[in-house]
Amino acid sequence: MTDGRPHPAACALSLRAQMIYASGVTEPVPVEMLTDIAAQIIEHCGHQPLKAFRLAHNWTVAHAVSEVHALCEREGLGRRGLHERSWKEWEAGGNTGHDYRDLLCRLFQTGPVQLGFAHDYTPRASSAPHPTYVDKVVSSSEPWSDMHRRTFFKAPALAAFASSPDLDSVFRSISPARRSGAVDPARVHDLALVSSAYRRSYQDMPAGELLDAALAHLRLTYALDPRFQPEPTRTALLTVIGEMAALIGALYLLDRGDQANGWRYVDLAWEAAKAADSAELQTIILGGRSFGVAHYAGDHRTGLELAAYACEVADGGASNETRGWAAAVASERAASIGDLSECHRRLSASRAALAGAPSETVPLGIGIFNADKLNAYEGGDMVRLGRYRDAEPVLDAAISRLDPALQRHRCTALIDRAEARLGADEVDGACSDGQAALELVAQVQHSGNLKRLRALATRARDTGSQAGRDLWRNVITATADTKGALS
C-alpha cells in the first residue's frame, strides 16, 4: 500500500493476471488458486477481504451481485433483494447479516474467516504448510521466468473457445443471439476485412464512434459461433473476435479510462488469441497489458516483464511490424525505470524487426507501427530518462515525418516533445506543442492523453508564464467538456 491507502483495482487485476499466467493454468481458474490470489491481493494491495475475493474472480460489483442471485436460483435458496449499493457498503466495512454471510461464503467457496467476517484463534502449527499457488508463483524474484514462459506459451489452446464459464458470461452479455451451421468463407473474409479497417481506423477515428462500430462487429462475428465451425473457419472467426476485443479493450482503457470494461475485453481477446493459437494476437494483447499495468498501476517493472514476454511470444510467429512494436513497448518500460542500456537494446531490436525480410504473417496491430513511429518512441524514451535535450531533435524529426492521418500517434509525440521542452525550460515551446496536442485530443477523444496534458499544463502554469496560464485554462475547459475525462 501507498500512504496506508489500498492500491487501485488495476493493481489487483494485474497481480491476478501475473499469478495465473505464471502458473500456466487455463480458465476456469481453480478455486484454491482464486483463494490464494485473494490472500495476495489483501496482503499486497491492502483491500478488504470481500473486495479482494471479488477482484480475484475478476468481477465487477454488478457481476458479483448477479452471481449471488444466480446462486440462489440455482440452489433453490429463495430470492434475495440484494443490490449493488449493499455490496459496496459491505466492501466499505458495513454490517453483513448472517444470511448474506452464509451466501457469500457459498459464493466464494470459502469460510467466514477468509472473508473477514470472523477471527481465527487456532494456534499456528509449527510445521510449514504445504505450498500454495502463491508460494509457487510469487515467491520467485522473477515471476516471468523462462520456465513459466515456456510452460504457458506451449500450453494446449482451448479446445472450444466458449468452454470457460467466464467467457460464456461475457458472450451472453454482448451477443444473446446464437446460430450454427456452415458459414460461407467469403463472409468470413469480409468480416476480416472490416476488422482490419476498424483496427487501422484507431489512428484517427473518434473513440466513441469507433467503439460503437467495434462492439457491433464483435457481436456480429460471435453470432456465427466459432464452436460450431470447421477449420479453418473457426480459427478465422476467433481471430476476428480477438482483434475486435483487443481494439475495444484499448479504447476502453486508453481512450475512455474505463478499467472495468477495458480489462474485461482484454481478457476476452487473450482467450481468443490462445484458442486461435495466434502468436500475432498474443503479442499484441501482452503489449496492451504492459501499457495497462504501467499506466494504471504504475508498475513499470511488471510492465517490462509483460513486454519482454510479448517479444518472446512474437518470435514464435508474429509479423515484423508487431515484433517491432513489442520491442518498442519494452523500450518504453525500460526507460520508465531508468534502464538506459535495456532501452537502447530494445530500440535496436525494434529497428531490426522492421528491417527484416517480409513475413507471411498478416499484421493485426491496433493503429500502425513503422519507422517513423519508432522514432517517436525513441524520443519519448529519452524524455522518460530525463534526457530532454537529446529527446527534442529525435521528436522533431519524428513529428515532421509522421503521416498527418496518424492523429493519435502525432498527439502522443507532441505531448512527449512538450514535456521535453518544459524539462529544458522552454516553456513557450512546450505550451505551443500542448495546444496542438489538445486540438488532436478533442478530435480523437483520448482521455489518457488529456490527463497527460492536465499534468503538463499545471506545471506550465506554475512557471508563471502567460503561455502556461493560457494552456492550463484551455485544458481545463476541454476537461470540463469531455465526458468521463475526470474518471
Look at residue 444 and tell me whether its pLDDT is greater than 60.
yes
Same domain as 242, residue 197: yes
Of residues 161, 335, 315, the one with CA closest to residue 236? 161
Query: What pLDDT does residue 55 have?
Result: 92
Look at residue 159 and give its three-state secondary structure.
coil
Number of H helices, E strands in the chain: 23, 0
Same domain as 237, residue 92: no
Query: What pLDDT does residue 295 have?
Result: 84
Which residue would you say has higher pLDDT here, 442 or 377? 377
Which residue would you say has higher pLDDT here, 29 or 363? 363
Query: What pLDDT does residue 158 have?
Result: 29
Look at residue 360 and give its three-state secondary structure.
coil
Look at residue 484 and tell me whether its pLDDT is greater than 80.
no
Look at residue 150 and tell me whether its pLDDT is greater than 60.
no
Look at residue 177 and tell me whether its pLDDT is greater than 60.
no
Give the Cα separation of 182 and 277 in Å (integer).
22
Give the Cα separation of 487 and 484 in Å (integer).
5
Same domain as 382, residue 333: yes
Query: What pLDDT does residue 319 have?
Result: 96
Q: pLDDT for 178-224, tens place per residue?
A: 445 678 888 899 999 999 999 999 888 888 889 999 999 999 898 88
Letter for the amino acid at 303?
Answer: G
Same domain as 229, residue 211: yes
Query: What pLDDT does residue 132 have?
Result: 45
Highest mean pLDDT among 36-50, 354-368, 394-408, 458-472: 458-472
What is the number of structural domains in the chain? 3
Letter for the amino acid at 194?
Answer: V
Look at residue 258 and give its three-state secondary structure.
coil
The DSSP symbol for 253 reads I
Look at residue 175 and tell me whether its pLDDT is greater than 50.
no
User: In the chain, how long is the greatest CA-to-CA distance?
Assistant: 69
Domain of residue 416 covers: 401-487
Q: pLDDT for 237-273, tens place per residue?
A: 999 999 999 999 999 988 888 888 899 999 999 999 9
**Other CB atoms within 10 A of residue 165 CB:** 10
Residues 6+ apart with CB under 8 A from 107: 64, 67, 68, 71
Give the Cα separation of 412 and 437 in Å (integer).
8
The C-alpha angle 14, 17, 20, rounded to 5 degrees, equals 150
Last residue of one domain, picked from the residues 373, 400, 427: 400
Which residue would you say has higher pLDDT here, 164 or 6? 6
Q: pLDDT for 106-127, tens place per residue?
A: 999 998 889 988 887 776 544 4
Query: What pLDDT does residue 21 have?
Result: 62
In a domain, 368, yes or no: yes
Please report, for the domain that includes residue 273, its CATH number. 1.25.40.10
Same domain as 351, residue 227: yes
Look at residue 165 and tell me whether its pLDDT is greater than 50.
no
In a domain, 111, yes or no: yes
Look at residue 2 and give its three-state secondary structure.
strand
Same domain as 443, residue 358: no
Look at residue 160 and tell me whether its pLDDT is greater than 90.
no
pLDDT range class, residue 79, cuts 50, 70, 90? confident
In a domain, 283, yes or no: yes
Query: What pLDDT does residue 11 have?
Result: 75
